[in-house]
Structure 1
């Protein structure tokens, strides 16, 4: 899953000229590099191979006016897209993921100070044992529990939407709620359909009542429809949905469509009421 890593390095005077990163990733990986608030660049993996393993990236250049007097912060937002499965004789499932090497380029000998890694909430002792360890990662909104039912988003900006999106590289998170009232005996499968409004590369995560049920990678393929079964989606009551929009380049990203649509209305032998899967809310896991 995505996992930000921060470092504060030495004072700005003579701090170097560029940053070199060596990363080890899976196919369709992604990482983005920021110095303070300045976007330096990004790297993406292939959708059809794992040539992205052990990449020594081009240097990310920066200028002196992007530095502060005192501490400066390098931020790497990283999505390795997971580990390999154990199906080969070369033990490639044991290959690590993340930043394996780094260097601050310059002739002054100054190096990074400290590295800090922000992983999933609770680490190996993550409290959500119902949804499981693969449900959430190291994003701020996941660590804060913003994807969970009952999260208080009253202080969030209510004037923005995924259709406006963002004009710069980075991540914006949107949260909404809605109610459904579908008859008990109706068999109506539902899915979230999305469409990008421009050609800029981007990534999207969709959480439904705390469950991750959509992961869109624009460079990977045509997966723009994400079915959510009854029991995760409340067909007769309130639902809380969170969508993260990750713009990869300077052109930003926005969605042209994000809709909950039915896949059909069927007459079936369904008679029993489908109950929501019992899962903890924000108060249970974060309060």
Structure 2
């Protein structure tokens, strides 16, 4: 991630596919990190939901759990990050990664939860401008 070279806001968006074994409960999260002395705020969006705020110079949260229904564990997901550099020094993130907290066997069926029909989708709203 190249970051912002001066004060300002930059958006990053990516898509990724997950194929988690549906017989397991696999809590997944996003980890964010920034170099020391970075003065920035980050908004984290997952599949259309604002899911977290990261303030590197205040902290302490760097791990953001993604519950079933927000995260599609069997298909496509969209991750967007708004990086707001609050000084002329700019800002960048040193870490943006998905990770597994653990893997559990469970009778609950977490892997079968799908929130796709509830997730917001992009719609052209230029006619309202």
- TM-score of the aligned structures, taking structure 2 as reference length: 0.88
RMSD: 1.6
How much does 1:185 deviate?
1.0
Runs of 4+ in 1 over 4 A off after TM superposition: none
Q: Is 1:276 matched with 2:107?
A: no
Aligned residue in 2 for 1:208 = 46
Separation in 2 of the partners of 1:255 and 1:233? Answer: 22
Separation in 2 of the partners of 1:198 and 1:238? Answer: 33
Aligned residue in 1 for 2:76 = 238
Q: Which has the higher contact order (CA 8 A, sep 6+)?
A: 2
How much does 1:214 deviate?
1.1
- TM-score of the aligned structures, taking structure 1 as reference length: 0.41
The total of aligned residue pairs comes to: 124
| Structure with greater strand share of residues | 2
Aligned pairs for 1:153-232 within 5 A: 163-232=1-70
Gaps of 5+ in 1: 1-162
Gaps of 5+ in 2: none
How much does 1:271 deviate?
3.2
Provide Cα deviations, 1:98-149, integer angstroms capped at 9, x if missing partner: xxxxxxxxxxxxxxxxxxxxxxxxxxxxxxxxxxxxxxxxxxxxxxxxxxxx
How much does 1:207 deviate?
0.3
| Pair 164,198 (structure 1): closer, same or farther in 2 beyond 3 Å | farther
How much does 1:200 deviate?
2.1
Separation in 2 of the partners of 1:226 and 1:280? Answer: 20
Aligned residues of 1:198 and 1:254 also touching (Cα < 8 A): no
Q: Determine which structure has more spread, i.e. the larger CA radius of gyration.
A: 1
